[in-house]
Amino acid sequence: MLAMGLAMAAGLSAAGPRSWERLALQLLGASGLCSLAAGLWLLLGGPSDAVVMTLGVIPWHLILDPLSAVFLLPLGAVVSTIALYARPYLLHIETGFRRPGVATGFFVASMILVLLAAHAFPFMLGWEGMALASYLLVIQHHEESASRQAGLIYLLVAHMGALVLLLAFGLLAHGAGGPDFAQWRAAPASASAMAALALACLAFAAKAGLVPLHVWLPLAHPAAPSHISALMSAVMLKIAIYGMVRLCFDLVSVQSALGLAVTMITTGALSMVLGVVLALVQQDIKRVLACSSIENLGLVTMALGLALLYRTTGHAMLAAMALGAALLHVLNHALLKALLFLGAGTIQQACDTYDLGRMGGLLRRMPASGGLFLLGCLGLAAIPPLNGFASEWLLFQAALQSWQMEQGILRSLIPLAAACLALTTALGTACLLRLFASAFLGQARSRPARRAREAPRAMLLAQGMLAALCVLSGLFPGLLLMMLNQVTVALLHHPAVQTASALIITPVTATQASYAPLAVLAVIMIIALCTAALLHTRKRAALRRVQPWACGLGPPTARMQITPAALAMPLRQVFAGLLSIHERLGSPQGRRYHLEIADRTWDLLYAPVARFVMSLSRHAARLQSGRVRLYLGFSLGTLLVLLWVMSW
């Protein structure tokens, strides 16, 4: 509650004079630290806490339990770092709303309220407040048509999801006899509860940006400021995952959720593949990261579906392992994606663009930013011993236990989903290497890139804090799993893994698989040292540095190096069926090449709906003819129809 109050105070302070901006950021950072401390306190053995307040006739039930504490950890870590990052970053923003800190404070307070709510009313209040505040931040640059369009699409998807969630909560309240979460938890299983669970998962999928409800995400994230994009991707999307876990494993008691589990696994697998393919072909650095969020949220959803499937079929231990993998990846992805979005903001300030085609050669001019960005890319690509590897490895271990299931169809479905995960991991590595190489390696492709300078110390310090957390969580994932065991034991009565310590993780038994990050790091260092020793002890001829040969056309220039689009061209051709690709030459001599790539989902699903709505609007506009007699006729006809209906 203190964290929520500090976040609201930060929003109110940002509405004051300019001299209060520093105070607003300090209050926001204090809110993040309080959230982090509350989550750690509970997960390290502190007692759960509950508060009941009455606002009018509506009781506000707020509860801090292990599940909400897990999601407070990434919220606290990201909020405290963006408070440090925001001041030097916002000094370079000269357009847009003058007070983005107002919406930021209420955005953070709304997310905390959702995590603490134990009653339908405060949950929906926080959910809608989160959507409205983030909408104001998405349209920060409202003078640009792209920002207004992104905000409109995001607002439509957010409110449609809220309406579906409200309907689901209505069904649950009707079946349980009230809107309190304790009543839902005690209510018996029923068909209406299963229908409500399916509707709620649909609403949460829209907020998480899962396929095919993902179209808002690649538009909204690039439109918002970079530190807000970090907050949205690292925290807001995880709030939707929190809602799925809370309803599927805690509040709703269903006898069989086999259909929902299969749907979640399938949706997660499709989101992973389509998300990474879209990320591979993007030219905008923030669009790449946004599409990567679709991929990683698909991974988490697949893990939740796997946990629900194992629980439905009576394998509670395997369900706990899959749920632990999902929660661990939530924590890891939040840190990594926040680091990369803050790095994208640093690059944008240095190059004055998000276009990868206008970057290049930044590693020489921004070595600290380049090193931090590389660490985030390697972690997100699941390179051991960084933190992205541990959660994906644990999910693979959960999927490999599918042989214990009796149904042959389900035993075949899980390996197919695991194959999609393996494909996504490989493509994600290629995508992130392309991202780093296009931005930091080679020669500068524009004048701002040639004049780039290192970021201010506060921005580097914020990224360094996140990078340190990524390294620590990668080297000691067992400590995180020991805390996550409280959640899995409370929800599924089993720990996430059989053995978890600071040195080793054993999911099932030591004879099947185990993971020791420090041992992996030691092996990597020994191999690197041996390789370096062999290279330096061998006698080599003196090095002679010459310019690379460019077919006799003179010294190499930036135009001769491979472009980001060319790097993705082979994979773009392989997955052309998932994309809408338009290529053309811009002049008769063929000196200009134009490439436009769009998501085929928009053309197949959303464009026909948009055309139908516009056509319906044009027909409805004919009623506004300006003739009073026509309006009176419509009124009389409506009155007669209503009298006829009431006479029944």
Q: Which structure tokens are listed for 3? A: 């964290």
Give the integer Cα–Cα distance in Å for 647 and 644.
5
Residues whose CB is less than 8 angstroms from the CB of residue 611 and which lie 6 or more positions away in sequence, other chains included: none
Check residue 532 and give its pLDDT.
86
Contacts made by residues 538-546, CB under 8 angstroms, sequence distance 24+: none
> What confidence score (pLDDT) does residue 95 get?
46
583/594 Cα distance (integer angstroms): 6
Of 519, 507, 512, 508, give the one whose Cα is nearest residue 475: 519
Residues of the chain with pLDDT under 70: 56, 92-99, 255, 538-540, 586-591, 625
Residue with tokens 């042989």: 403
Mean pLDDT of the chain: 88
Domains of the chain: which residue ranges? 300-530, 600-646
**Cα gap 200→516, rounded to integer Å:** 38
Specify the pLDDT at position 530.
92
Strands 499-500 and 505-506: antiparallel
Q: Residue with structure tokens 């009455």?
A: 54
pTM: 0.92
Give 262-313 pLDDT, tens digit per residue.
Answer: 999 999 999 999 999 999 999 999 999 999 999 999 999 999 999 999 998 8
Buried/exposed 211-225: b ≥16 CB within 10 Å, e otherwise: bbbbbbbbbbbbbbb
pLDDT at 99: 66
Confidence at residue 96, expressed as pLDDT on a 0 to 100 scale: 45
In the numeric block, the tokens 């006898």 are attached to: 255
Burial zone of 243 (CB within 10 Å; 0-12 exposed, 13-18 middle, 19+ buried): buried
CB 477 within 8 A of CB 502: no
Show the 3-state SS of 6-72.
HHHHHHHHHCCCHHHHHHHHHHHHHHHHHHHHHHHHHHCCCCCEEEEEEECCEEEEEEECHHHHHHH
In sequence order, what are the residues at sequence separation of 6 or more whose Cβ sits closer than 8 angstroms to the Cβ of residue 31? Answer: 3, 4, 6, 7, 10, 79, 108, 109, 112
